[in-house]
Amino acid sequence: MKNYKNIILNPSSSIKEALKIIDSGAMKIALVVDENEKLLGTLTDGDIRRGLLNNLSLDDAIEPIIFKTPTTCSIEDTKEKILEIAVEKKLYQIPVVDNTGKLIGIEEVDELLKPKNRNNKVVLMVGGLGTRLRPLTEKIPKPMLKVGDKPILETIILNFKKYGFSNIVLSVSYKSEMIENYFGNGSKLGVHIEYVHEEKRMGTAGALSLIQEKLNEPFFVMNGDLLTNINFEHMMDYHIQNSSVATMGVREYDFQVPYGVVNIDGINIKSIAEKPVHNFYVSGGVYILDRAVLDFIPKNQFFDMPTLFEKVIANNMKSISFPIREYWLDIGRMEEFEKANNEYHKVF
């Protein structure tokens, strides 16, 4: 049984404190107890994401976002019984309590930490011209540029494989033969790769019309110039658990106005904010879609992902956001390419 003392919180602890505990520990969970160490609930990364999306700040208390009905096991339960519970509930860890509800410890089920073999397809958009990275992309497509010791696209594919997603579809166009010659059918990486050829620019969603019949389960769509260490398994589970038809990975973006902003009413000055910082969520270029949304995509036409989400929203279908707090870098310009090479070995 794992020692739980370093992952304990109380209801008045801040979200910032919870993040430090969850991010620093291997178990990626916090346990919330009262003054008598009675278990009140648990807290995970997903709970914090939902709280932040509901406008809580890092300084707010965790009390409103505690998961107050966690699955537990008894101190009398055998290892076999605990494993049975974990498999049934799809849990990584299970708090152990005595018959009064007092926290005794936490069992970590190592077997469940191994990546699963997921059938969901991963569609990677790798047909862009990479004009902002010229002259590097004059003779080689951007996804084949090396970051660290391998092409960007290889790192992306291996990251998906790590989480059990090995059915890859590459939407190719510019210098596609270089990509196909390098990856082939994917067997050398332990994955299965199919190709779809864009004869013209089709946007970040348009190419999906060419492979509709192959997309029967929820599937990923991701830009082929992103480096990120998102837990793709968690994102897929988040999509499914929330009964979403379209999930967008979103990234927090801060913009500081370089001037004093004057708030006026008619000709009257009401207030002045000196160089205010505005916070936004922007698309992270990682999506999960259900087959149902493919009906909105026109055949053989340019169609972008924001337009697809607008269609989903207009038809009152559920679309949700998945906050990306992990490493994320869009390699669109030379400075980002250089940054990726400088950071690659530290991150990956």
Band (213; pLDDT cuts 50, 70, 90): confident
3-state secondary structure of 3: coil
- Alpha-helical regions (H) of the chain: 15-24, 45-53, 79-89, 110-113, 152-162, 176-183, 203-206, 232-241, 305-314, 334-347
Sheet holding 246-256, edge to edge: 192-197, 165-172, 118-125, 219-223, 277-289, 246-256, 319-323
Q: Rounded to whole angstroms, how far apart are CA atoms 93 and 78?
A: 15
Taking residues 300-309, what's their average pLDDT?
89
Q: What is the pLDDT of residue 293?
A: 92
Q: What is the pLDDT of residue 112?
A: 47
Greater model confidence, 76 or 40: 40
Percent of the chain that is helix, strand, coil (3-state, to 5) = 35, 30, 35
Chain centroid offset of residue 271 CA: 39
Share of the chain above pLDDT 90, in %: 20
Please state, rounded to an integer, the average pLDDT across all residues of the chain. Answer: 84
The predicted-structure confidence for 111-158, as pLDDT tens digits, reads as follows 545 566 888 999 998 876 656 666 666 677 778 888 888 888 999 999
Q: Which of 30-34, 334-338, 341-345 shows the lowest per-residue confidence on average (mean pLDDT)?
A: 334-338
Q: Which of 68-72, 132-136, 144-148, 306-310 shows the lowest per-residue confidence on average (mean pLDDT)?
A: 132-136
The predicted-structure confidence for 267-286, as pLDDT tens digits, reads as follows 878 888 888 887 788 888 89
Band (26; pLDDT cuts 50, 70, 90): low
Respond yes or no: is residue 275 known to be catalytic.
yes
Flag whether pLDDT at 75 surpasses 50.
Answer: yes
Using alpha carbons, select from 157, 163, 83 the residue that is nearest to residue 115. Answer: 163
Q: Rounded to whole angstroms, how far apart are CA atoms 68 and 65?
A: 9
Q: Rounded to whole angstroms, how far apart are CA atoms 98 and 277?
A: 49
Tell me which residue has tokens 């291997």: 26
- CB burial string 22-52: b at 16+ within 10 A, e below: beeeebbbbbbbeeeeebbbbbbbbbbbbbb
Structural domains in the chain plus CATH codes: 5-113 (3.10.580.10), 118-347 (3.90.550.10)
Report the DSSP beta bridge partners of residue 262: 272
- And the tokens for 117? 């073999």
Q: What is the pLDDT of residue 219?
A: 95
Band (170; pLDDT cuts 50, 70, 90): very high
Question: Is the alpha carbon torsion for 97, 70, 229, 161 positive or negative?
Answer: positive
Flag whether pLDDT at 53 surpasses 60.
Answer: yes
The predicted-structure confidence for 158-167, as pLDDT tens digits, reads as follows 989 988 899 9
Q: In sequence order, what are the residues at sequence separation of 6 or more whose Cβ sits closer than 8 angstroms to the Cβ of residue 314?
A: none
- This prediction has a pTM of 0.67
Q: Rounded to whole angstroms, how far apart are CA atoms 86 and 116?
A: 15
Residues across the chain: 348
Under 8 Å between Cβ of 115 and 164: yes
Q: Rounded to whole angstroms, how far apart are CA atoms 86 and 171?
A: 38
| 3 state SS for 257-284 | CCCEEEEEECCEEEEEEECCEEEEEEEE
Backbone angles phi, psi at 320, to 5 degrees: -135, 165
Task: Report which residue type is found at 24.
Answer: S
Chain centroid offset of residue 255 CA: 22
Sheet holding 39-43, edge to edge: 8-9, 30-33, 39-43
Q: Rounded to whole angstroms, how far apart are CA atoms 63 and 17?
A: 13
Q: Rounded to whole angstroms, how far apart are CA atoms 153 and 108?
A: 34
- Considering the candidates 81, 89, 275, 318, report the single residue annotated as catalytic: 275
Q: What is the pLDDT of residue 225?
A: 84
Band (311; pLDDT cuts 50, 70, 90): very high
Q: What is the pLDDT of residue 331?
A: 77
Omega into 95 within 30° of 0, i.e. cis? no
- And the tokens for 135? 């002259």
Flag whether pLDDT at 252 surpasses 50.
Answer: yes
Share of the chain above pLDDT 70, in %: 91
Greater model confidence, 112 or 182: 182
